[in-house]
Amino acid sequence: MNDRMEVELGKIQETLLLPLWGRAVESQKTNSRLYDRMAVEIIKRIDYDFSTMTRNIGWITQLAWVARSLHVDKTVLEFIRDKPRATIVNIGCGLDTTFDRIDNGQITFYDLDLPDVINLRKTFFQETERRKTISCSFLEDEWLKELEMDNGLLFVAAGVFYYFVENQIKSFFVSLANHFSRCEVFFDSASPLGVNVANKKVIKDGGMDETAILKWGIKSARSMERWDERIQVVKEFPMFRGMKKGYSLKMKYGLWMSDFLKIMSMVHLRIGK
């Protein structure tokens, strides 16, 4: 008898299963770069056919999900080293486990996603006084008023923004600038080429619905500074920076080429006067 949990998610929300699978695969390797116990457990507990991903998703794509998590972890840890009581907001959290890896015992951490995702998430993760959930779209404004802040504010978004069009993302960042005198945002971006590659090699080959395609691609994060004078780029770097050690020369070349073409990047912004 199948006692696994059924997963009922919207088409875009279903893409959260891609990085979940990627982290679970990495966690079961002998010399894993990232260990995510909950990802492994969730994969075993939900009723979903991951065979298409296993068959079609390449190692570079799987590593990209791991690299993204490692970059987020490092950025959050650096932020809370200087601001130990900071507020961290995980936009489009899916079934992410960042909090479990970076919690210093003092931060306030919000996981934000659409209602169907939060309902699924609550099956596996419990809220506490410092670990909270917000059930809504990040494009709404009201949830920004719910945030409790004491010692700095950092938003992180992994695998989120490029599913929306530029005007939506621009409006969101301007809204952050209007609501907060100062905050920071760390997220992954795709170039226009990266958007095309991801739609074929990840969305289509990963068995996702064709309506869940990536839309927003940028050649350089500096273009976002033109949206509003309060938006400043702290840094932008290619996805596989620092991730090439331990691979064969041929595999390193594949990672280098991806970075050279700026397929995927990580972007750190500061918002405020």
For residue 91, the domain's CATH number is 3.40.50.150
pLDDT at residue number 188: 97
In a domain, 213, yes or no: yes
- Report residue 260: phi and psi, to 5°: -60, -40
The string of pLDDT tens digits covering residues 238-248 is 999 999 988 89
Res. 1: pLDDT tops 60: no
Do the domain assignments include residue 190? yes
Asked if the structure places residue 261 within a domain, the reply is: yes
The model carries a pTM of 0.94
Mean pLDDT for 160-189 is 96
Count up the domains in the chain and report the number.
Answer: 1
- pLDDT per residue as tens digits for the range 22-63: 999 999 998 899 999 999 999 999 998 888 888 888 899 999
Question: pLDDT (tens digit, 9 = 90+) per residue, 56-107?
Answer: 888 999 999 999 999 999 999 999 999 999 999 999 999 999 999 999 999 9
CB atoms within 10 A of CB 95: 23
Is 240 among the domain residues? yes
Q: Choose among 199, 195, 197: nearest CA to 211.
A: 199
In a domain, 211, yes or no: yes
Name the helix (H) or strand (E) containing 189.
strand 182-190
Amino acid at 84: P
Q: Quick check: is 46 in a domain?
A: no
Return the pLDDT at 2.
58
Helix (H, G, I), strand (E, B) or coil at 32: coil
- The answer to the question of residue 200 being in a domain is yes
**Structural domain range at position 132:** 68-272
| Domain annotation covers residue 208 | yes
Please enumerate in sequence order all residues whose Cβ is within 8 A of that of 250, keeping only pairs 6 or more positions apart, or say none: none
